[in-house]
Amino acid sequence: MRHIISILLENEAGALSRVAGLFSARAYNIETLTVAPTEDVSLSRLTIVTTGTDAVIEQITKQLNKLIDVIKVVDLSEAAHIERELMLIKVRATGKDREELKRLADIFRGHIIDVTESTYVIELTASGAKLDSFIQAIDAGLILETVRTGVCGIGRGERILKV
């Protein structure tokens, strides 16, 4: 099962490597990992997408909580939440493909943010799954480069992760 785990941790040197090191040392999966400081600069918020059985996910949350720099851990996918990921994708845009790619970007509510005679860079923000479908929808031969931020997520409504 895929889970989105959100972590509040001290914004200290090395805190990220403690989290990443834990996943490799205990052979847990990391599909994506994103991290940045919050509105309180002493805190970082980290989001990890991982997969595992219920027992594995339980261990992951417990082991994360055990790290001294970790303040709070929540499995966002346990309840209502929103997830978003940003992708920048550079595509070969020539001839009739230019029009087709523009149309596709519109359908997925993406923006073309860089244009040259032969390329577009499309910016797209959506769930990870939607980004995957966008990639699927484009002729693979046209894709020059993709870069994705990894998933970040937040609980819906009054579900708040704070110190």
Partner 1 sequence: MTMMTGAEIVIRCLQEEKVEYVFGYPGGAVLHIYDALFKQDQVKHILVRHEQAAVHAADGLARSSNKVGVALVTSGPGATNAVTGIATAYMDSIPVVIISGQVPNAYIGQDAFQECDTVGITRPCVKHNFLVNDVHKLALTLKKAFYIANSGRPGPVVVDIPKDVTAAKCKFEYPESIQMRSYNPVVKGHLGQIRKAVHLLLEARRPMIYTGGGVILANGAEQLTRLVRRLGFPITNTLMGLGAYPATDPQFLGMPGMHGTVEANLAMQHCDVLLAIGARFDDRVIGNPDNFASIPRKIIHIDIDPSSISKRVKVDVPIVGNVPDVLEEMLRLLDAGNAAPDAQALAAWWKEIEAWRARQCMKYARKKNVIMPQYVIEKLYEVTAGKAIVTSDVGQHQMWAAQYYKFDEPRRWINSGGLGTMGVGLPYAMGAALQHPHMPIVCVTGEGSIQMCIQELSTAKQFRLPIKIINLNNRYLGMVRQWQEMFYGSRYSESYMDSLPDFVRLAEAYGHVGIRVERPEEVEPALRKAFTDHKDDLVFMDFITDQKANVFPMVAAGKGLADMILTEDL
Contact residues for partner 1, defined by CB under 8 A: 9-10, 13-14, 17-18, 21, 25, 55, 58-59, 62-63, 65-66, 68-71, 163
Q: What is the DSSP letter of 13?
A: T
* Contact (Cβ atoms closer than 8 angstroms) between residue 10 and residue 44: yes
Say how far apart CA 126 and CA 151 lie, in whole Å. Answer: 9
- Which C-beta is closer to partner 1: that of 4 or that of 60? 60
In whole angstroms, how close is the CB of 23 to partner 1 at the nearest point?
A: 11
Among residues 9 and 131, whose Cβ is nearest to partner 1? Answer: 9
Strand pairing class (43-51; 32-37):
antiparallel
What's the closest the beta carbon of residue 70 comes to partner 1, in angstroms?
Answer: 6
Q: Which is nearer to partner 1, 59 or 119 (CB)?
A: 59
3-state secondary structure of 12: coil
Shortest distance, position 56 Cβ to partner 1, whole Å: 10
- Report in angstroms how near the CB of residue 159 gets to partner 1 at its nearest: 21
Please report how many Cα atoms fall inside a 13 Å half-sphere around the Cα of residue 48, on the Cβ side: 23
